[in-house]
Structure 1
Amino acid sequence: MKTGLVWFRNDLRVRDNSSLYKAVSTNNKVIAVFCFDPRLFNLNQYGFRKTEVYRTKFLLESVVELKENLAKLNITLLIYLSRPEQILPEIIKDHCVDTVYLQKEWTREEMIVSESVRTELNEIKVGWIESYDQFLFHPDDIPFDKQEIPKVFTVFRKGCEKLVVVRPETSMKPLSPDNLLINLTEIPSLRMLGFNDFPVDSRTAFPFLGGENQVLQRIEDYFWNSKNISFYKKTRNGLVGTEYSSKLSAWLANGSISPRTIYHQVMNYEAQVEKNQSTYWLVFELIWRDFFKYISLKHGDDLFKIDGILHKEYSWSKNKESVNRWIHGETEEPFVNANMIELYHTGWMSNRGRQNVASYFAKELRLDWRIGAAYFESLLIDFDVHSNYGNWQYVAGVGNDPRDRKFNIKLQSERYDPKNKFQNLWLQPTLF
């Protein structure tokens, strides 16, 4: 009788989950665990909560659906408001777990947690199987060694597109109902995590709920019902409403869906409806996401250092007054202000907005880009550590852009918000 434990972290799905698939395939009994780690809700070094209320609520919704979907497979999800290293060794011991299955992480804070769990296991002998499961192109399949990842995205993209076949999705049958445990654990409330509930702002471009079922419905709507994916390349720089982009990034970030599932959905759409530049562009964006993950894998902690992966030194300021004016939308640029106010009230900002406010922060105000990145980490529903810090380095001139460009905010505003529709939506008095 073999027992496997699946430790869920940023892979909150049943469909196409490598850890779950391996556990179900090789064990008689499978249990699952998720920990709401209190450290995720503490203040960081810049005074921001690591995870603010918007992403926290989205996470709670995602865990609700994960629990329900695992139950359909007759797998119990045990849920704790605790540090994993305080809980997992006890569960492993109590349930005579033979093997732990988890998604492979490589950034510092995630690795510290993993190693803390393994340290606390002490003399308990247990298998430990980690799976790279965040990628479109699996690390074993790409035509580059980890330390030889190209500096330029185009080189990476063309090499992978030419030589890599995206792996198929995994699926599994339900286990026996005998696998279910008596489960006395409960999903914590927002209040238990230190937050008050909030009404969703009616102007938000991201009114969606968290969870695997929600993202599959979003794909159904964006791909198959509205066919908006056919116009994605033309609309992706939009600023207002739910339909200018796929909005899949938030579910990707916490692993409610895999990039492979999205890819295969695009392939199905191309086969059944149409194939054009827009359908390709969604895959193109998934490759960008992969690229930043590989850059993070290659450069390690340099992703979080002020001189970045290029080791370029600039004179950065930490002026609190300037930072606060940026946060509260009180700069000299209305377009920046509108985007920052949107973020403050919704936890969302468009891709076009993010590039502009980050460029303004780093290139015009010359503020320490890590402060801006940490603020994004706190507020954004779709925060992904690799994409967030990779993009901030890119914009700040210490990452993957040797040209060190900066955005002309006024021209950007005129081009992407010519009638001030977006700015008028958010630049209203007494919002703060």
Structure 2
Amino acid sequence: MNEKTILIWFRNDLRIRDNEILIEAVKRARKVVPVYCFDPRYFSETKFGTQKTGVLRTRFLIESVRNLRESLCSLGGGLIVKIGKPEEILPEICALYNVSEVYHHREVGAEETSISAKVEAALWKQQINLKHFIGHTLYHKEDLPFPIRNIPDNFSVFRKKAEKDSSVRTSFESPDHIEIPGGVLQESLPGLTDLGFPAANEQEEEHPVFAGGEDEGLRRLMEFIHEGSNSRNKNYRFISSRLSAWLSLGCISSREVYWLVDEYRKLLPDLSSKVISELQLRDYFRFMLKKHGHIIHHHEDGLKELSKRERNAFEKWKNGNSGNRVVDACIKELNSTGYISELSRQYAANFLVNKLRVNWRAGAAYFEEKLIDFSPAGNTGTWAAVLEGKIISPNKNISPKFDEVEQEEEIRKWLVDQNNTSAA
């Protein structure tokens, strides 16, 4: 039996199913030390007056970390949870438990990769290796029919070539048992106030639209399939699986979703095709950020402040008072639930940039705060599409015009005035 101890640095991979770093650590070490860090940099304020992580996504994150800890404990393990910078916390834990190697999943966002580099440098001072794994995409980059630098910039071309010339790897099994070092402390998870939110936000929602965790993500997937199999309306054009929140935090993996949905391909071909297209779009945005990351900067350094006119327009837009009924419906739904469809995001973003003439980065920062399924690649992809005058959708036959008639029910639902009367 190998006597080494491996630390598992969980980030956006909060699951035990189909998790290569967990399986590999258990296979190669006698003991593992699972760790999650609530990094305060992700709960700071931007120059646009927005929070990098809003209350809805923070609550979802806490729930997801809690579910991960419960799952690990059920296997005989546990999860060390800390508030602080990983480059400071991880070396301390490594020293405490005599860790010989650290495993984590590679990220593509500029901030995420910068933090990885800081962790790697800090660990190297202790002669500890940070091993990188790839596990956030449907298609493994080594299985693509082209190198990253040659990936088609057109989503439709990318999707067709990937479907034809690539394949989806099988999912990893969950471990049967995890052994952690003795004396690992199971400290309480932080609450919203610990992360800088007012105490009033601590009260739990009675009926949350999204509940975090691997168990909830799998439940939502099966619920969506069940809805599809029992639905009289087989037009999936304007509906979404809404799995993106769980996918963004890695509560469920794209591969696992793919293989579960694939089982229903003959029974529900349209539904299966739609979900797979959503997964392919996630891959496309991630690979585009990897390909063009040196051009598309999501940093705030050197950006000009918004003008007074821009600030006023931005305030109206983000409060759902822009004057455009569809945009206002989209933003009110976003503010209430933390979610709107990709088409709605692009529609609202296009209005902010091209009609209100507000710096797109302010809108991107607002989406970063409010979206419960935020990811650097997805958010950058949305705004890049708008700046290029494109509409990018997982729906293969989507019309470039946002259909107000078909969306009338959703518009009426969210356009409600202070007296609770429906908008005309």
Of residues 405, 415, 418, the one that matches 2:405 is 415
SS of residue in 2 equivalent to 1:227: helix
What do you get for the CA RMSD once the two structures are aligned?
2.7
The alpha-carbon distance between structure 1 residues 346 and 398, as it changes in their structure 2 partners (threshold 3 A), is same
Counting matched residue pairs gives 403
For 2:26 and 2:33, how far apart are their aligned partners in 1? 10
Which residue of the partner structure matches residue 311 of structure 1?
Answer: none
SS at match of 2:34: strand
Matched, 1:264 2:259: yes
The CA distance in 2 between the partners of 1:217 and 1:106, in whole Å, is 28
Question: 1:346-400: CA deviations, max 9, x gaps?
Answer: 2222333222211111221222212111100110101111011111110122789
2:396 paired with 1:373: no
Matched, 1:32 2:30: no
Change beyond 3 A, Cα 1:55–1:254 = same
TM-score (norm 2): 0.88
2:143 to 126, 141, 144: 141
Q: Give the distance between the partners of 1:231 and 1:6, measured in 2 at CA.
A: 45
Match of 2:84 in 1: 82
Report the secondary structure of 1:210's partner residue. coil
Shift of 1:45: 2.3
Give the secondary-structure state (helix, strand or coil) at the position aligned to 1:280.
Answer: helix
Tell me if structure 1 keeps the 8 A contact 2:228–2:268: no
Q: In structure 2, what is the equivalent of residue 220 of structure 1?
A: 222
Structure 2 contact 10–35 (Cα < 8 Å) conserved: yes
Q: Is residue 19–residue 174 contact of structure 2 (8 Å, CA) maintained in 1? A: no
AA in 2 matched with 1:85? E
Over the matched positions of the two proteins, sequence identity in percent amounts to: 36
For 2:65, the equivalent position in structure 1 comes to 63
The alpha carbon displacement at 1:28 in A equals 0.9
Secondary structure in 2 aligned to 1:101? strand
Amino acid at match of 2:272: T
| DSSP 3-state at the match of 1:319 | helix
Greater mean deviation of Cα atoms: 143-152 or 250-259: 143-152
Residue number in structure 1 paired with 2:247: 252
TM-score, length-normalised on structure 1?
0.86
Counterpart residue number, 2:382:
391
Q: Check whether the contact 2:32–2:180 (CA below 8 A) recurs between aligned residues.
A: no
Q: How much has 1:154 moved relative to structure 2?
A: 1.8
Match of 1:235 in 2: 236
Q: Cα distance 1:231–1:208, how it changes in 2: closer, same or farther (>3 A)?
A: farther
2:290, 2:177 → 1: CA distance? 35
Q: Which residue of 1 aligns with 2:56?
A: 54
Kept in 2, the 8 Å contact 1:390–1:399? The answer is: no
1:43-97 deviation line (CA, Å, top 9, x unaligned): 0121110000000000000000000111122222100011111110011111111
Of residues 258, 279, 287, the one that matches 2:280 is 287
1:380/1:58 CA distance change after superposition, 3 Å: same
The answer to whether the 8 A contact 2:148-2:291 is kept is yes
Q: What CA deviation, in whole Å up to 9, does each residue of 1:313-364 have, x standing for no partner?
A: xxx9771011111011111211211221222222222333222211111221
Identify unmatched segments of 5+ residues in structure 2. 300-305, 393-397
Letter aligned with residue 416 of structure 1? E
**Counterpart residue number, 2:318:** 327
Letter of the 2:228 counterpart:
K
State the secondary structure of the residue aligned to 2:21.
helix
Which shows bigger deviation, 329-338 or 48-57? 329-338
Aligned to 1:14: 16
Residues 114-263 of structure 1: matches in 2 within 5 Å?
114-175=116-177, 181-195=183-197, 196-198=201-203, 200=205, 207-223=209-225, 225-228=226-229, 234-237=235-238, 244-263=239-258
Mapped partners of 1:338, 1:389: distance in 2? 22
Tell me the residue number matched to 1:426: 414
| 1:180-208 deviation line (CA, Å, top 9, x unaligned) | 64324221011111222356487xxx712
Structure 1 runs not aligned, ≥5 long? 238-243, 307-315, 402-406
